[in-house]
Amino acid sequence: AVRADRMRGGRNKFGPMYKRDRALKQQKKALIRANGFKLETVPQIVSPVQNDYSLSSTIHSIHAMSKTLPPNPAALTPVDYERTPYGSPSLGMTVPSHAPLASYHYPSFPNRTIKSEYPDHYTNMHESMPTYMYPETYASSSPPDIPEVILKLLQLEPDEAQVKARILACLQQEQGKGRHEKLSTFGLMCKMADQTLFSIVEWARSCIFFKELEVGDQMKLLQNCWSELLVFDHVYRQLQHGKEHSVLLVTGQEVDMSTVAAQAGSILNTLVLRAQELVLHLHSLQVDRQEFVCLKFLILFSLDVKYLENHTLAKDAQEKANAALLEYTICHYPHSTDKFRQLLLRLAEVRALSMQAEEYLYHKHLSGEVPCNNLLIEMLHAKRT
């Protein structure tokens, strides 16, 4: 500061603001150093050259469709972030078996805290997860700011009603076919997954950073993570559904767990139960929509993908999303200092479950039970070429 006589002196009224900002940044950096993950080598699952014309045409058609949509948000403002790699644990892990779902007890959702009954198999800690308060329990009249990255991702979320209507229309069209052309119940479920996958491609195409990539890089990223995005979409829907004894489909229909157990077969039933376990883990962490969109974005921009032409952009997107998620958890859950790390560990569970689901689907495909000539099957083959 400078006095009226141009001599140095005076009092810096902005000191407390600088100190608070510096303290927040130091806290963020300390958490990153404490919770950093070592990127492990994973098997190559995408070949250098892909000849997937269906996915390419899908992306190109979405390019054309996007011209009729409202303009996307402007480029991001850079976020202050200490560079640190994020990598999910090795793909070699398996999802451990647990007791049947009947032993789970979901408390009522509003204004509750919950502690997980199960140990975390992805860390060396043996104690139960800490409890987390819902955001509405905080006394602050105005919530802390939401990072710009997360705000943009929220704006780009698909309209659930439109997705539901389109999938229902597609299924009704299938049901209207002749008796010999009608799909089985499992075939209809695959058709539902295929249409959900198409909406995921549409979402990815509109995403910040992703839309700046060449089509080849977009295809590689989607071929790497499509099953994880499908699993995460299903799991988050169950988290919102909040019912122990039924599964909510993307069409809005509820399927009783007893029906799943009776008709799905042992392998598919086990996958559904393990998905419900993951729902329980996410519920114990009080995962909200802001964290969901950020985690989904992190799945899309996995650093495991090889041979990207613009790897720098993908890494930059990963780092900015990590920084935004860390900042959000610090501001909105100040008493849960471990939440950021726990959220990233849940991505490892999503990946492990998605790989098992892929193997099951591929086995069903080889036996002729999965409809062919669709995006789902193309993605399934992409990792095996």
**Distance (Å, whole) CA 298 – CA 104:** 29
Is the sign of the CA dihedral 350, 351, 355, 361 positive or negative? positive
**Distance (Å, whole) CA 89 – CA 75:** 31
Q: Is 267 annotated as a binding residue?
A: yes
Q: Is 364 annotated as a binding residue?
A: yes
Nearest to 29 by CA among 330, 246, 370, 316: 330
Half-sphere exposure of 374 (CA within 13 A, CB side): 16
Nearest to 378 by CA among 180, 193, 232, 212: 193
Strand partners, 18: none
Q: Is 303 annotated as a binding residue?
A: no
Distances (CA, A) of 234 to 18, 128, 248, 249, 275: 43, 25, 8, 8, 8
- Which residues sit in the known binding site? 265-268, 360, 364
- Which residues sit in the known binding site for a phospholipid derivative? 265-268, 360, 364
